[in-house]
Amino acid sequence: MGSFNMPELPEVETIKRQLEKVILGKKIVSVLVNNPKVIKEPSKEKFKKELEGVTIKNIIRKGKALIFELSGGKFLVVHLRMTGQLVYPGSAKQSKVSFKLSDGKSLDYNDRRILGELRVVRDWQSMKFFKQMGPEIYDLSAAEFSKMLCQKKTKIKPLLMDQTFISGVGNLYAAEALFRAKIHPLRSAISLSQKEKKALFLTITETLNEAIKHRGSSVDQYVTLSGKKGNYADYHRVYDRQGEPCVICKSPVKRISLGGRGTYFCGRCQK
DNA sequence: AATGGGACCTGCGCGC
DNA sequence: TGCGCGCAGGTCCCAT
């Protein structure tokens, strides 16, 4: 125990798809701010003023971030970080911020640890966070991904989690994709064979796709828009399975700390 | 370029 | 049983 999963690409994509079905075209009538710490820009008062009366036109996901395209050329950028949740319809009770919509219901932003970020901007593309963001695995071919790995001497697992390298993969899916590709998390990227690089490209894509299909993984705080848990944790092969038998070879799953993060792998299957 | 550590946060597990 | 400490991690920032 002691593991936590933040929302990664599959979880944020799940929320995005559910939001699209229920809030497009609706108006933000009012904004209740219960904890201003999550509002990074502009100030709390301006934040409310900017949002009241706008219509939600579109929702975009970039890596692990969500961008609400609003009327009036404005954008609401949301990063859930560790424990952020978007819930609709919400009760507003435990929320840090609650958006009251024109349908009389509210969209709640919950965040137990208050590490997430909300901001209203006019040009999200020029934000440093997005300018530095690397491509998603979906934007790449196997050949392009392989080429990117050739130039890197870093350990493969922290590299997969580096959002400026590729975006969307975090601690959980890095572990699962490496297990499926039978690659040890401590290997340097440059040491991978062509065959291993291609396998990794495929397992990242496959793992993310399967997780989206099951509406993400709920190990700790993540919930879907309707407040339900995702089901993909039932399919994890190594993440949070320390000491349990490997699904392939039955030797116990190991856990080490790598770059300050819990790293799960099978010492026998992953070379 | 790569790596390491601290800060941001809070709730939980652990030890005594 | 109860209390207090340390850990968990995505991202940013700074130092080496």
- Which tens digit of pLDDT belongs to each residue from A80-115? 998 899 999 998 778 999 999 999 999 999 998 899
Residues 44-83 of chain A within 7 A of strand C, judged by CB, are: 63-64, 79, 81-82
Q: What is the mean pLDDT of residues A191-198?
A: 95
pLDDT above 80 for A161: yes
Residues A115, A96: Cα–Cα separation, whole Å: 11
How confident is residue A5, by pLDDT bands cut at 50, 70 and 90?
Answer: low
Which pLDDT belongs to residue A219? 72
Strands A117-121 and A39-41, by their bridges, are: parallel
Which pLDDT belongs to residue A67? 96
Is position A27 annotated as part of the catalytic site?
A: no
Which pLDDT belongs to residue A102? 97
Which nucleotide is closest to A2, CA to C1'?
C8
Which pLDDT belongs to residue A203? 96
Distance set, CA A21 to CA A26, A158, A240, A264 (Å): 11, 35, 32, 36
Q: Using the Cα atoms of residue A148, residue A153, residue A159 and residue A160 in order, give the sign of their dihedral.
A: positive
CA angle A211–A260–A165, rounded 5-degree value: 55
How confident is residue A209, by pLDDT bands cut at 50, 70 and 90?
Answer: very high
Residues 107-126 of chain A within 7 A of strand C, judged by CB, are: 113, 115
Instruction: Specify the residue for token string 């989690």.
Output: A161
Q: Residue A79: which of A43, A154, A133 has the closest Cα?
A: A133
pLDDT above 90 for A231: no
Which pLDDT belongs to residue A1? 31
Closest alpha carbon to C1' of C10, residue: A81
3-state secondary structure of A202: helix
Which pLDDT belongs to residue A2? 39
Q: Quick check: A63 and A133 in contact, CB under 8 A?
A: yes
**What separation, in Å, do the N-terminal and C-terminal C-alpha atoms of chain A show?**
25
Residues A267, A187: Cα–Cα separation, whole Å: 12
Instruction: Give the side-chain half-sphere CA count within 13 A for A225.
Output: 16
What's the mean pLDDT when you consider all of chain A? 91
Which nucleotide is closest to A114, CA to C1'?
B9
Q: Using the Cα atoms of residue A159, residue A116, residue A120 and residue A108 in order, give the sign of their dihedral.
A: positive
Å from the A1 CA to the B14 C1' = 12
pLDDT above 80 for A223: no
Is position A8 annotated as part of the catalytic site?
A: yes
Query: Active-site residue among A64, A215, A241, A255?
Result: A64
pLDDT above 50 for A11: yes
Structure tokens at A54: 């706008």
Structure tokens at A202: 């495929």
